[in-house]
Structure 1
Amino acid sequence: MKTTISQVSQYTGKEVTIGAWIANKRSSGKIAFLQLRDGTGFMQGVVVKAEVSEEIFQKAKSVTQETSVYVTGIIREDERSPFGFEMGVTNVEVIHEAVDYPITPKEHGTEFLMDHRHLWLRSKRQHSVMKIRNEIIRATYEFFNKEGFAKVDPPILTGSAPEGTSELFHTKYFDEDAYLSQSGQLYMEAAAMALGKVFSFGPTFRAEKSKTRRHLIEFWMIEPEMAFYEFEDNLIVQENYVSFIVQSVLENCRLELGVLGRDTEKLEKIKAPFPRITYDEALKMLHEKGFDDIKWGDDFGAPHETAIAESFDMPVFITHYPTSLKPFYMQPAKDREDVVLCADLIAPEGYGEIIGGSERIHDQELLKQRLEEHGLENEAYKWYLELRKYGSVPHSGFGLGLERTVAWISGVEHVRESIPFPRLLNRLYP
């Protein structure tokens, strides 16, 4: 009977065959211990010399790291293992022998590991991060489908920019200028006017020359947009969504969180509602913490966001930023023209902003004015303005950066580990 490591609990006491790779091995005279991985998980195979032929035992002792094999044996429970099961091996069939595998159990530098990212993904740590990433994606679809959202795919090649062109990758689109998308938001607003509640999930690109642990050149965004949703409605969707994905990871990825050494008690506290503070309150908090140089109208950097997050054990919304700091499409507050109805959601433990969102301007004349103030050509945004010409309604949306969210929930320090093949300022390989 062929099966996978993730399914062996169904076969306790039975003999099965698993296609796997040798992640590691050790032997002590009369027993060989094979650390098996098959993509679905990791499990130990135990080969006892007295229970197999000499040929099988010698094969088990000599098999090299990352050699691919078919391993046959009896599944049994093992309380000492975090996985809970092991295999009593009866046969080992080598499929392909790996020679001089470059990533050994010793320590390797980050650059070396990044140069071998295509192989580093096989490690137990990286496997765990990718499984958590996959669970967040799965839970995202579950949440929005359950809430009545329609999935819409905005274009990656665009003729205009939602936040200006300074950090966009430029390309030629036959005889026109085009850009790699930095956000699908404008198109999602159009989709919301047709379908009510929509979300997208796709790659976005920022030509930002940043080397921090929070930044990637190419990353993935989840971008919901909702017709007839005002500012407070938007915040409620965000906190419910983030709570849902965190609790889904806790429920379905306990083993992976354990491999990463993640403090799950911190994650168990992540349940809506989340605290809210205004930009003005955040500024006062920073002054009290000794950040005397920052003044009203300055944007918050990583140290400021971290300092604010230290006062909370849950994600915190910072709302009502100065108009001058935010993109052209954000709705001004009713009682203050100098701030907009926006919020950044700051993750705990120093992971920074994971969501940016706002109520969108729904008045055509005000939007025209804002486009002019930002020096953006009205012609390129003609279709976007027409959304306000034909049955405009209040609407809101947000964007969640997947990689920062994966990094926070899994507890890894750098976002380069939260995406399969990271694109960094000086890295386009592999």
Structure 2
Amino acid sequence: MEEIARNFADFAHPDTESIAIIRGRVLQALQHYLLDRDFKQLMPILMSPITDPLNHAVYPAEIQYEQRRLKLTASMIFHKQLALTAKGHDKIFIVAPNIRLEKAEIKDSENHLLEFSQFDFEIRDGDMHQVMALIEGLIKHVFSEVNQHCAAELAQLNRQLPHFTSAFPIYSSDELRAEHGDDFEKIMSASAQTPFFVTNYRREFYDRETPGKRGAYNNYDLIYPDGYGEALSGAEREFEYEQIVYRMNELSMDLQPFANYLEVARRGLLHPSAGGGLGIERLLKFICGKRRIRDVALFDRTVGTSFLF
């Protein structure tokens, strides 16, 4: 009963309404920015025979439907690639719910949720530099809209949003790791004054390997300053059948569950593309100046929490 009382005390907190108003403005700004650039909005896919295998272990999130075992969406990466083959769908975005049943080792994370939403987008024939420029413009636009329309709410939160006028710096993970060690993201985020990009991570098979350069990758993360950490993960995509199989075998993956996806690639139907997924709750946490991601959502879904509802 005490837990229920605490839960509803959070509902009554004076910041709750301000965060909700900012959330609405953020979502509107994100969508309008891409709609104004001729993106098509898709509805999310919540279950599929396959989903993002991710670059770290999570508990399986699956349901049984009659004779089929279906996975709950961890990200819409494969559906984004497939959607780009549809007529007129050369630029797409989705406000996409994701289920990731994270393991206990990250239960103290201030940034991880068991379910969260991404502002997910993809551009046919796009490259990493085009997408990084789009992301920078998108972030600056959202901040401008919140500053313009949510002054009272920011005051309630005692938050003064920074103004980012210069270009976001771009670093390679190799140079940062050499300088700071494996915790370079955390170290750089703590000292940075502006969001910055980090490129060249070794991770999922669908992040494109740099042509002609084995072991280098055309991918990128956006990192927030002031210790807020990762904002977005994205990449150019593998689209050629032989290269996809090579990358999957390199990671010792079972190809059988991906047979339909691989057949589409074998037929040459996938397009070159690039995109990313921006964590909406993480963006809201940064804008609102909150340190715990649970503070920007009514219903707590942080790892390790015994949520009631």
If the length of structure 1 is used for normalisation, what is the TM-score?
A: 0.65
Q: Does structure 2 retain, via aligned residues, the 8 Å contact 1:314–1:348?
A: yes
Name the CA distance, whole Å, in 2 between partners of 1:115 and 1:151: 39
Matched, 1:129 2:7: no
For 1:346, which of 203, 223, 240 is the aligned residue? 223
String of CA shifts for 1:85-131, please: whole Å, max 9, x gaps: xxxxxxxxxxxxxxxxx9xxxxxxxx95x864345233221211222
For 1:334, which of 187, 208, 211 is the aligned residue? 211
Matched, 1:202 2:96: yes
Superposition CA RMSD, Å? 2.2
Written as runs of structure 1 = structure 2, the 5 A alignment for 1:23-422 is 116-118=6-8, 120-164=10-54, 166-167=57-58, 168-194=60-86, 195-209=89-103, 210-211=106-107, 212-264=109-161, 267-268=162-163, 270-271=164-165, 273-286=167-180, 291=181, 294=182, 300=183, 304-321=184-201, 323=202, 326-388=203-265, 389-422=267-300
Structure 1 residues 423 and 399 mapped into 2: Cα distance closer, same or farther (>3 Å)? same
Answer 1 or 2: which has greater strand percent: 1
String of CA shifts for 1:355-384, please: whole Å, max 9, x gaps: 000000121111122223334443432332
Q: Does structure 2 retain, via aligned residues, the 8 Å contact 1:305–1:350?
A: no
Secondary structure of residue in 2 paired with 1:346: strand
Secondary structure of residue in 2 paired with 1:361: coil
Structure 1 residues 127 and 372 mapped into 2: Cα distance closer, same or farther (>3 Å)? same
Secondary structure of residue in 1 paired with 2:24: helix
Name the CA distance, whole Å, in 2 between partners of 1:284 and 1:394: 31
If the length of structure 2 is used for normalisation, what is the TM-score?
A: 0.89
- Displacement of 1:180 in angstroms is 1.4
Name the CA distance, whole Å, in 1 between partners of 2:36 and 2:262: 31
Name the CA distance, whole Å, in 2 between partners of 1:375 and 1:162: 15
Unaligned runs of 5+ in 2: none
Answer 1 or 2: which has greater helix percent: 2
- Displacement of 1:311 in angstroms is 4.0
Name the CA distance, whole Å, in 1 between partners of 2:215 and 2:13: 50
Q: Does structure 2 retain, via aligned residues, the 8 Å contact 1:129–1:417?
A: no
Name the CA distance, whole Å, in 2 between partners of 1:407 and 1:256: 14
Letter in 2 for 1:331: R
Higher relative contact order (CA 8 A, sep 6+): 2
- Displacement of 1:255 in angstroms is 0.9
Name the CA distance, whole Å, in 1 between partners of 2:224 and 2:95: 20
- Range with bigger deviation, 327-336 or 183-192: 327-336
Letter in 2 for 1:420: L
Structure 1 residues 115 and 319 mapped into 2: Cα distance closer, same or farther (>3 Å)? farther
String of CA shifts for 1:134-177, please: whole Å, max 9, x gaps: 21111111111111111112321121132259423122222222
Name the CA distance, whole Å, in 1 between partners of 2:188 and 2:34: 30
Name the CA distance, whole Å, in 1 between partners of 2:49 and 2:259: 12
Name the CA distance, whole Å, in 1 between partners of 2:255 and 2:53: 14
Name the CA distance, whole Å, in 2 between partners of 1:413 and 1:201: 23
Identity %: 24
